């Protein structure tokens, strides 16, 4: 089928059709999303519109013009509801898998509460699973996406805020020991490799190849809501030692930084003062550029949106005193058994480093509507579906989708046990809790997914 021909998937009745997007929908998708995802002033969002146009135009490395779902009112020819599916690769401590990221979900007010989003979510889930993706992910408003099988299971944002008076001042007779500057294309492989190496601190991370990093740095529309400024850090000899990723404008009176990494063997104490001074100068330049006759902008703080934990927090201590609590990603895991078997090498390595190394037996996990039996054979692990779980026979009980929180390192057993009265290990089975805590450790993630 030609890409410029409307690919109708379903007639929804009442003049509405569900169809797949094509290259001719670029401007209408741009306008629709700019109107629906308004800016902070309640007006048409040029930045969202620019992002959507980037996606729909076919230049994105992992997204095609046909990757939007569209509900169209054939009586007017207008888009009344839409979302998109952005393909990407994530990693669970080094084990890769496909992820379908759903974003830009919107419906015109007069067409809501007709099940249009559910129709499109079901379709996007099918597209994602047909690609072989093991997980679907979305960022969004509280509670809403739980209707579609999602649970909030991975940190999103969060970090520390510091203020300009706490930034170390460079002595007059001292040269800046580290310089922060715009990258060149030859440094993209260095950024990619460092990003992958430092991802080991997290349970989950997002994989970007050289093409994707090149697009992030040089390919996005300058007005896009998801464009960030990537900068390399070099020492006095001009050697690459790290990179940062920050916003291209002020957020209130703060400049936000979203990634900050340096090479192994280099002290964060040595590099961080130079980075902070760069942020101050850049933020003040932004403030001057963004100021108008009616409104004078100021840069008063730096916001390290580096997640719950990061090496620089240890360095800064009370120089970044304000703690910002993370929000969370919604994740959907349709095949828990398949995923557990996929990441079994990680689970076996954790078991080998624990006090229950070499265990043989089984661990029965009850999810009430379904369950999993983990079989252990001298340290090897195999997951099996427990189609008819029995509450009395279970070793551990997980209500709703709470198991996902412990699986992805978002919470540990003690935290979940406090939050859910009906989540617990059966004390009659001495092996249950030691195995659970050996396999599923609290290890928060913080990463920039592909948008």
132, 98 contact by CB (below 8 A): yes
CA–CA dist 250, 272 (Å, integer): 20
- Residue at token pair 């001074």: 277
pTM for this entry: 0.95
Would you state the pLDDT for residue 230?
Answer: 98
162, 319 contact by CB (below 8 A): yes
Would you state the pLDDT for residue 5?
Answer: 78
CA–CA dist 274, 233 (Å, integer): 9
Would you state the pLDDT for residue 39?
Answer: 92
CA–CA dist 59, 25 (Å, integer): 15
The SS3 of residue 102 is strand
Would you state the pLDDT for residue 1?
Answer: 42
The SS3 of residue 229 is strand
CB within 8 A of 47, min separation 6: which ones? 39, 223, 224, 225
CA–CA dist 301, 359 (Å, integer): 51
Helix spans in 379-431 (H): 403-407, 413-419
Would you state the pLDDT for residue 382?
Answer: 98
Structure tokens at 240: 């690459």
17, 72 contact by CB (below 8 A): yes
DSSP 234-273: E-TT--EEEEEEE-SS-BTTEEEEEEEEE-TT--HHHHHH
Is the Cα torsion angle 357, 407, 67, 249 positive or negative in sign?
Answer: negative
The SS3 of residue 341 is helix
Using left for φ > 0, alpha for ψ between -120 and 50, and beta otherwise, residue 102 falls in beta
Structure tokens at 272: 């961080």
261, 242 contact by CB (below 8 A): yes
Strands (E), 133-234: 135-138, 151-156, 159-163, 179-181, 204-207, 229-234
Q: Hey, what domains does the chain have and what are their CATH numbers?
A: 7-138 (3.40.630.30), 159-326 (3.40.630.30), 335-439 (3.30.1050.10)
Would you state the pLDDT for residue 427?
Answer: 85
Using left for φ > 0, alpha for ψ between -120 and 50, and beta otherwise, residue 234 falls in beta
- In eight-state DSSP terms, residue 217 is I
CA proximity to 111, closest of 72, 80, 65: 80
Integer distance in angstroms from the first to the last C-alpha of the chain?
27
47, 223 contact by CB (below 8 A): yes
Dihedral Cα 187, 191, 193, 194, nearest 10 deg: 130
37, 10 contact by CB (below 8 A): no
What is the full per-residue pLDDT of the chain (451 aa) written as tens digits? 445 678 999 999 999 999 999 999 999 999 999 999 999 889 999 999 999 999 999 999 999 999 999 999 999 999 999 999 999 999 999 999 999 999 999 999 999 999 999 999 999 999 999 999 999 999 999 999 999 999 999 999 999 999 999 999 999 899 999 999 999 999 999 999 999 999 999 999 999 999 999 999 999 999 999 999 999 999 999 999 999 999 999 999 999 999 999 999 999 999 999 999 999 999 999 999 999 999 999 999 999 999 999 999 999 999 999 999 999 999 999 999 999 999 999 999 999 999 999 999 999 999 999 999 999 999 999 999 999 999 899 999 999 999 999 999 999 999 999 999 999 898 889 999 999 999 999 999 999 999 9
CA–CA dist 183, 240 (Å, integer): 10
Would you state the pLDDT for residue 40?
Answer: 86
Residue 335: count other Cβ atoms within 10 Å of its Cβ. Answer: 13
């Amino acid at each position: 089928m030609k890409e410029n021909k409307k690919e109708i998937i379903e007639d929804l009745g009442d003049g509405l059709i569900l169809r797949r997007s094509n290259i001719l929908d670029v401007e209408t998708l741009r306008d629709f999303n700019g109107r629906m995802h308004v800016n902070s002033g309640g007006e048409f969002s040029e930045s969202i519109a620019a992002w959507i146009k980037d996606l729909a135009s076919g230049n994105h490395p992992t997204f095609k013009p046909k990757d939007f779902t569209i509900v169209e009112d054939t009586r007017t020819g207008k888009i009344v509801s839409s979302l998109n599916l952005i393909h990407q690769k994530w990693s669970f401590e080094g084990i890769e898998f496909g992820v379908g990221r759903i974003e830009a979900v919107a419906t015109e007010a007069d067409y809501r509460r007709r099940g249009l989003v559910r129709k499109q979510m079901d379709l996007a889930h099918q597209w994602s699973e047909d690609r072989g993706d093991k997980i679907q992910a979305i960022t969004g408003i509280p509670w809403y996406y739980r209707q579609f099988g999602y649970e909030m299971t991975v940190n999103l944002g969060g970090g520390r805020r510091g203020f300009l008076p706490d930034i170390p001042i460079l002595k007059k007779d001292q040269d800046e020991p580290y310089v922060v500057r715009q990258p060149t294309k030859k440094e993209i492989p260095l950024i990619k490799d460092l990003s992958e190496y430092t991802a080991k601190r997290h349970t989950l991370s997002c994989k970007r190849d050289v093409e994707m990093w090149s697009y992030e740095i040089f390919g996005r529309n300058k007005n896009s809501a998801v464009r960030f400024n990537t900068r390399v850090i070099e020492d006095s000899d001009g050697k690459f030692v790290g990179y940062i990723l920050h916003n291209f404008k002020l957020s209130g009176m703060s400049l936000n930084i979203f990634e900050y990494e340096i090479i192994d063997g280099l002290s964060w104490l040595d590099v961080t003062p130079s980075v902070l001074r760069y942020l101050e100068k850049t933020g003040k330049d932004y403030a001057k550029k963004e100021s108008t006759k009616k409104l004078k902008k100021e840069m008063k703080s730096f916001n390290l949106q580096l997640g719950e934990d990061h090496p620089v927090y240890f360095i800064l201590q009370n120089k970044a005193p304000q703690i910002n609590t993370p929000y969370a990603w919604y994740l959907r895991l349709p095949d828990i058994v398949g995923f557990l078997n996929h990441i079994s090498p990680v689970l076996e390595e954790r078991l080998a480093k624990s006090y229950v190394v070499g265990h043989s037996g089984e661990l029965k996990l009850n999810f009430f509507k379904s369950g999993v039996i983990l079989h252990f054979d001298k340290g090897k692990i195999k997951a099996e579906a427990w189609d008819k779980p029995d509450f009395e026979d279970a070793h551990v009980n997980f209500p709703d989708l709470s198991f996902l929180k412990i699986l992805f390192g978002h919470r540990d057993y003690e935290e979940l046990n406090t939050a859910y009265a009906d989540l617990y290990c059966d004390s009659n089975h001495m092996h249950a809790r030691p195995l659970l805590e050996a396999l599923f450790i609290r290890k928060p993630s913080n990463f920039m997914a592909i948008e």
